[in-house]
Chain A
Amino acid sequence: MVTIHHYMVLSAVLFFIGVFGVLFRRNLIVIFMSIELMLNAVNLSFVTFARYTQSMDGHVVAFFVMALAAAEAAIGLAILVMIFRNRSTVQADDLSLMRD
Chain B
Amino acid sequence: MEQYIWIIPFAPLFGAVVNGLLAVSNAGKGRVVSERLVSFIGCAAPFVSFVTAVGVFFHLRGLPEAERVVSQSIFPWLVSGDLQVDFALMIDTLSMVMVLVVTGVGTVIHFYSIGYMAKDDGYARYFAYLNLFMFAMLVLVTAKSIPVLFVGWEGVGLCSYLLIGFWYKDIKNAAAGKKAFIVNRVGDFAFLIGIFIVFVATLKIGSPTLDFVELRRLVSEHPEAFAGTATAAALLFFIGATGKSAQLPLYVWLPDAMAGPTPVSALIHAATMVTAGVYMVARLSYLYLESPAAMAVVATVGTVTAIFAATIGICQRDIKKVLAYSTVSQLGYMFAAVGVGAFAAGIFHLMTHAFFKACLFLGAGSVIHAMSGEQDMLEMGALAKAMKRTAPTFVIAALTIAGVPPLAAFFSKDEILWSVYNAGVGPSWLPGLLWVILLAGAGITAFYMFRAVYLTFFGKRRYTDEAAHHLHESPAVMTVPLMILAAGSVLAGIVGIPAVLGGSNWFHRYLQPAIGPTVHAGEAGSHAVEAVHGAGHGSTGLELALMVLSVAVGVAGILLARHLYLKNPAVPGRIAERFEGLYRLVYNKYFVDEAYEASVVRPGYRLSNTVLFRVIDVAIIDGIVNGVGVFARLVGSAVRLVQTGVVRTYALIFLLGIIYLIYRLAG
- Residues in chain A within 8 A of chain B (CB atoms): 19, 22-24, 26, 31, 92-93, 95-100
Across-interface contacts of B648 in A (CB, < 8 A):
22-24, 26, 92-93
Across-interface contacts of A19 in B (CB, < 8 A):
655
Residue B645, interface by CB 8 Å: yes
Q: How far is the CB of A12 from chain B (nearest CB, A)?
A: 13
Residue B643, interface by CB 8 Å: yes
Checking B644, B645, B651 against A22 with a beta-carbon cut-off of 8 angstroms, the contacting residue is B651
Residue B662, interface by CB 8 Å: no
Across-interface contacts of B652 in A (CB, < 8 A):
23
State in angstroms the CA–CA spacing of A66 and B278 once bound together: 94
Q: How far is the CB of B663 from chain A (nearest CB, A)?
A: 16
The answer on a CB contact under 8 Å between A96 and B655 is: no
How many chain B residues touch A (Cβ–Cβ < 8 Å)? 9
Residue B499, interface by CB 8 Å: no
Most buried by B among A22, A31, A97: A22
Residue B628, interface by CB 8 Å: no
The answer on a CB contact under 8 Å between A99 and B643 is: yes
Across-interface contacts of A99 in B (CB, < 8 A):
643-646
Q: How many A-B residue pairs have CB under 8 A?
A: 27
- Residues in chain B within 8 A of chain A (CB atoms): 643-648, 651-652, 655
Across-interface contacts of B646 in A (CB, < 8 A):
92-93, 96, 99
User: Can you spell out 21 A-B residue pairs with CB atoms less than 8 angstroms apart?
Assistant: A22-B648, A23-B648, A23-B651, A23-B655, A24-B648, A26-B648, A92-B646, A92-B647, A92-B648, A93-B646, A93-B648, A96-B644, A96-B645, A96-B646, A97-B645, A98-B643, A98-B645, A99-B643, A99-B644, A99-B645, A100-B645
Across-interface contacts of A96 in B (CB, < 8 A):
644-646
Across-interface contacts of B644 in A (CB, < 8 A):
96, 99
Across-interface contacts of A92 in B (CB, < 8 A):
646-648
Residue of B whose beta carbon sits closest to that of A100: B645
Residue of A whose beta carbon sits closest to that of B645: A99
Further contacts, 15 of them, CB under 8 A, given A26-B648, A96-B644: A19-B655, A22-B651, A23-B648, A23-B651, A23-B652, A23-B655, A31-B647, A92-B647, A92-B648, A93-B648, A96-B646, A99-B643, A99-B644, A99-B646, A100-B645
Q: How far is the CB of B414 from chain A (nearest CB, A)?
A: 93
Across-interface contacts of B651 in A (CB, < 8 A):
22-23
Across-interface contacts of B643 in A (CB, < 8 A):
98-99
The answer on a CB contact under 8 Å between A95 and B655 is: no
Residue of B whose beta carbon sits closest to that of A24: B648
Across-interface contacts of A24 in B (CB, < 8 A):
648
Across-interface contacts of A98 in B (CB, < 8 A):
643, 645
Residue of B whose beta carbon sits closest to that of A19: B655
Q: How far is the CB of B649 from chain A (nearest CB, A)?
A: 9
Across-interface contacts of B645 in A (CB, < 8 A):
96-100
Across-interface contacts of A31 in B (CB, < 8 A):
647
State in angstroms the CA–CA spacing of A22 and B649 once bound together: 10
